Structure 1
Amino acid sequence: MNKPRTAIALVLALAVAVAQQHACSLASAAAGPRVIVVGAGMSGISAGKRLSEAGITDLLILEATDHIGGRMHKQNFAGINVEVGANWVEGVNGEKMNPIWPIVNSTLKLRNFRSDFDYLAQNVYKEDGGVYDEAYVQKRIERSDEVEDSGEKLSATLHPSGRDDLSILSMQRLNNHQPNGPSSPVDMVLDYFKYDYEFAEPPRVTSLQSTVPLATFSDFGDDVYFVADQRGYESVVYHLAGQYLKTDKSGNITDPRLQLNKVVREISYSRSGVTVKTEDSSVYQADYVIVSASVGVLQTDLIQFKPQLPTWKILAIYEFDMAVYTKIFVKFPKKFWPEGKGREFFLYASGRRGYYGVWQEFEKQYPGANVLLVTVTDDESRRIEQQSDNQTKAEIVEVLRSMFPGEDVPDATDILVPRWWSNRFYKGTFSNWPIGVNRYEYDQLRAPVGRVYFTGEHTSEHYNGYVHGAYLAGIDSADILINCAQKKLCKYQVQGKYD
């Protein structure tokens, strides 16, 4: 049964390589081709920096919004700047250095705080109020860890191509979490914290082989640091941009090669070049284009490709997942929640999985702000985006009054609900590697189509979904273009599906 699929895979792989070779054989011999970068998030800015370092400086960066940084974005809430998107440097204090960490901690010296999750067993709240017995919760945590350890051992035995991959839920079932995985309120919220809080999708859709163990933590260390600086985590992107784009004395980018509020709607490509059209009817021509739009955007019709992208490329885009991770900030007139060592993170063990389950208080990060953060994902995110903020505020206050029945829990005075899924420029927060997508589809996701190149955190082979993944993906994609434009090494190898 596999032989026809293997043959098709090899034909597709050859088609990609031949198309690339043909396109580049017609490329201009000039040392400095013109490149358009679509999107000024971390990947787009990182790619532009790499191109500039290679001497390709005839760049034009087209950004749909009024700012750079993309999903790294601060917003003022109740008098403080909070991060509506990326918030942590994930993977610190390991054998290798996370490339984002020295920029945050040493170069820019952004305020950051190590997140300590060691006290969760003391902070799991019952649906009808009060906390669960610490010893009981600790046993459930240890059981969850044992299951994950078994999953890690199983993952190591699977074929590197991904052909034998299974979902995390399937692995849990193998370890006697029958039939639907963890099902008690405590087990559900611990499971949600371990997987959904990291990947923004449930274990039933998440690939075991691509996430257990997770390369970010295996490579860079288990620690995570929460960035809480009024300059914003996005200042990392501004710092990188400032290394090749002109700025004024205040650090504002003044370089005409960066154009904001330019919504790309059409990319035409041929063997001789590319033409990019924006919503304001502007037309730009170049030798190459790098598209750093999210995989969620690529799954919509916001950007039309002419000719239509080949079937293998469309399928690779459609098979990957764009997850939704929603950080809801809520302000109160006074504090009623516990503070002190070991109290930063707390869980609500609802019988409804994923219902306002993971909480964080900001005693250290935003002292005196009286702000809580509750995180929801996936279907809950999409549900909440479609209701009013007042409805969400009412639901949150009801949950908190259930958790703290002995406290005087006042009405919230303010709420911030990011709507990433509804935003046509993002359509979610970050990619998640689903079951059924192996290294072959991943290679196709990143593969160029003629003179059209692709980048973004979703094209990072080992670190998709993370800031450092976006940063490294920009470098990798730029290198693929540089190899073709300057070295005439235009063959991009997509291995056969079961190689």
Structure 2
Amino acid sequence: MMSKMWFCVFVCLFGCASAAKVIIIGAGASGIATASRLLEQNITDFIILEAENRIGGRIHSFYLSDGFVDLGAQFVHGERGNIAYTLAKDYVVHNPEMNEVAVYFEGTKKTGENLQSIGKQLYYEVSEHAPYENLSIGDVYLSRYNTTVLTKYKDDPEMTSYANFLLKNLEAAVLALEGAFDWFKVSAQSSFHEADGDQTLSWNGLGYKTILDILLKNFPNQTGYNINDKIFLGKSVNKIALKETSVEVTCKDGSVYTSDHVVFTPSLGVLKNRHKDIFQPELSPEKVNAIENLGFDGIMKIILEFPQAWWKKERNFLFVWNDKDIEDLKRDIPFGPKTDDDHWLSWFGYFGIAPNNPHVMIGWYSGPFVEEVEKLSEDQIGKAVFYTLQKHLGRDYNVTKPRTVIHSKWRTNPNFRGTYSYETVQLRMKNITSAHEKLSEPVEGGDGKQRILFAGEATHPSRFSTVDGAIGSGFREGDRLVNMLK
């Protein structure tokens, strides 16, 4: 009797212990998708533990100016074979103007052959038809660029110079698409399957958060599932302990939860940084191999709101920096990371107008300096971006200072540690096959039942790095649970 009393006192002082049939860790796309599958089968004995103070995970929509903008996932990539499109086809729109980019070099708009478009197409050709074992996307892309673009202009010094400087922009675009810091680490061969159709479908001011409401059948009308009482925010998980017939989850705040099954949905970045500390006992060597050899770095987004739209008909801009520009940057923008021959701002080259939000622009930043640039203040980012816009567009536009500057911090946020996964050259060289499938394999308890399940974009074998891949993995684990619980 006394021992039970002391246990109750301990629980009250050091954390509340509670139980649920299922614990879903993470309220991102995969966690919400898992919950939706359970609810469809009238399974309600579950809770969701979310480390952030909001739901959505790497979907982060917020209202600014005239609509929602996305600091995380923004586009629905493809139509046929895409779960997100199937769910949201009535609410997303085509934006053909996304392919119309005004390129500025040395302060003037480039005319003539569209090398930016040619470079983009070259990436898709390389990634779709790459019979190159153990080679990186950087190796193959450079080889193809040299034998096509640079060879074509070998007798034209002006175009050769421009094509060489544009190469950094093309590299930055590849890194943004792959979510990597270094294109020599990304495998040219990939098991990723591109869904047919438009790759830049837009939510047109609704924000990607809408997909969460669609999953819960609360869009366009709030008539679906209300799971507010099942989601616990600010619950960073420190330990997942596998018992004989149950799982015990301990949070950073000291709270303890027990369940029959746990679905772990946090990012591959979290697994890379904390899997040894989180899981007790440690994960299998095969699963650890997959975690350590898949890639997970990050990109950054910059959201700018202006008092008025100073641009004209052009909606998307690409800025190409030359060697003199980089020397000017070292003098004019003294803050932020740089090397002897490079400056962080020279990796910033693309800005586009936010869909259905006429005073807002969205910039994409990728490359080797992302982690350090995330640590800059909004004031520093704002000064650097205003400098960029004036330098490249000052002759054609009366550029004004932004009223609001917001930049993402996915890489430095301990709850994410980056943006999305990619397959590495190292993975291929070590002949690690089916890494995504290995990552998704459940962990069994002492009774042989599947106790710890894994979801998230990195666990999808062919649509990793996408929201629809995350949703698909959540459906997969939700169906697995239904089969075990029904």
Structure 1 unmatched runs, 5+: 1-32, 159-163, 488-499
Which 4+ stretches in 1 moved above 6 angstroms?
A: 248-252
How far apart are 1:289 and its partner, in Å?
0.7
Report the secondary structure of 1:225's partner residue.
Answer: coil
Aligned Cα root-mean-square deviation (Å): 3.0
1:436 aligns with 2:421: no
CA distance in 2, matches of 1:374, 1:88: 14
CA distance in 2, matches of 1:331, 1:57: 42
Aligned to 2:347: 355
CA distance in 1, matches of 2:44, 2:123: 51
CA distance in 2, matches of 1:228, 1:118: 16
1:290 aligns with 2:263: yes
Report the secondary structure of 1:403's partner residue.
Answer: helix
Letter paired with 1:357: G
How far apart are 1:431 and its partner, in Å?
1.7
Aligned to 1:227: 203
CA distance in 1, matches of 2:136, 2:476: 28
CA distance in 2, matches of 1:393, 1:77: 17
Aligned to 1:185: 165
Aligned to 1:400: 389
Q: Residue 151 and residue 334 in structure 1: after superposition, are their counterparts in 2 closer, same or farther (change >3 A)?
A: closer
TM-score, normalised with respect to structure 1:
0.75
Report the secondary structure of 2:234's partner residue.
Answer: coil
Structure 2 unmatched runs, 5+: 1-19, 151-161, 323-341, 445-450
Aligned to 2:369: 380
How far apart are 1:116 and its partner, in Å?
3.2
Letter paired with 1:427: R
CA contact (8 A) 1:355 1:376 kept: yes
Q: Residue 115 and residue 435 in structure 1: after superposition, are their counterparts in 2 closer, same or farther (change >3 A)?
A: farther
- The one of 94, 100, 107 equivalent to 1:119 is 100
Give deviations 1:358-387, integer Å, cap 9, x for gaps: 11024x5113x2x22111024333222111
1:196 aligns with 2:170: no
Q: Residue 466 and residue 150 in structure 1: after superposition, are their counterparts in 2 closer, same or farther (change >3 A)?
A: closer
- The within-5 A match list for 1:471-482 is 471-482=471-482
Q: Residue 376 and residue 151 in structure 1: after superposition, are their counterparts in 2 closer, same or farther (change >3 A)?
A: closer
- The within-5 A match list for 1:83-102 is 83-92=70-79, 96-102=80-86
- The one of 385, 410, 414 equivalent to 1:420 is 410
Report the secondary structure of 2:410's partner residue.
Answer: coil
CA contact (8 A) 1:34 1:56 kept: no
Q: Residue 409 and residue 207 in structure 1: after superposition, are their counterparts in 2 closer, same or farther (change >3 A)?
A: same
How far apart are 1:51 and its partner, in Å?
3.4
Aligned to 1:5: none
CA contact (8 A) 2:28 2:58 kept: yes
Choose 257-266 or 346-355, whichever is displaced more: 346-355
Aligned length: 418
- The within-5 A match list for 1:246-395 is 253-301=226-274, 304-339=278-313, 343-351=314-322, 355-362=347-354, 365-367=356-358, 369=359, 371-395=360-384
Letter paired with 2:100: Y
Q: Residue 392 and residue 170 in structure 1: after superposition, are their counterparts in 2 closer, same or farther (change >3 A)?
A: same
Report the secondary structure of 1:410's partner residue.
Answer: coil
1:59 aligns with 2:21: no
Letter paired with 1:448: P
How far apart are 1:309 and its partner, in Å?
2.1
CA distance in 1, matches of 2:413, 2:437: 27
1:142 aligns with 2:118: yes
How far apart are 1:83 and its partner, in Å?
1.1
Give deviations 1:222-264, integer Å, cap 9, x for gaps: 442121334x321211332357xxxx96879355333233222
CA distance in 2, matches of 1:447, 1:386: 36
Give deviations 1:185-210, integer Å, cap 9, x for gaps: 223323433x2232232432222211
Give deviations 1:67-101, integer Å, cap 9, x for gaps: 32211121233464311111111102xxx352222
Give deviations 1:448-469, integer Å, cap 9, x for gaps: 2222111101111111111111
How far apart are 1:299 and its partner, in Å?
1.9
Give deviations 1:103-146, integer Å, cap 9, x for gaps: 3232xx36x442434433xx1111x30112332x34x6436635
CA distance in 1, matches of 2:376, 2:123: 37
- The one of 210, 213, 217 equivalent to 1:238 is 213
| Identical-residue share of aligned pairs (%) | 25
Report the secondary structure of 2:138's partner residue.
Answer: helix
- The one of 137, 145, 163 equivalent to 1:168 is 137
CA contact (8 A) 2:119 2:170 kept: no
CA contact (8 A) 2:122 2:141 kept: no
- The one of 37, 49, 52 equivalent to 1:50 is 37
How far apart are 1:344 and its partner, in Å?
2.2
1:105 aligns with 2:105: no
CA distance in 2, matches of 1:171, 1:421: 27
How far apart are 1:60 and its partner, in Å?
1.8
CA distance in 2, matches of 1:205, 1:76: 36
Letter paired with 2:305: K
CA distance in 1, matches of 2:361, 2:214: 29
How far apart are 1:279 and its partner, in Å?
2.2
CA contact (8 A) 1:73 1:86 kept: yes
CA distance in 2, matches of 1:360, 1:270: 51
- The one of 110, 128, 152 equivalent to 1:132 is 110
CA distance in 2, matches of 1:423, 1:143: 32
Letter paired with 2:421: S
Q: Residue 295 and residue 147 in structure 1: after superposition, are their counterparts in 2 closer, same or farther (change >3 A)?
A: closer
CA distance in 2, matches of 1:410, 1:144: 30
How far apart are 1:61 and its partner, in Å?
1.5
Aligned to 2:5: none
Report the secondary structure of 2:202's partner residue.
Answer: strand
Letter paired with 2:370: S
Report the secondary structure of 1:372's partner residue.
Answer: strand
Letter paired with 2:75: W
Aligned to 1:456: 456
Q: Residue 454 and residue 326 in structure 1: after superposition, are their counterparts in 2 closer, same or farther (change >3 A)?
A: same
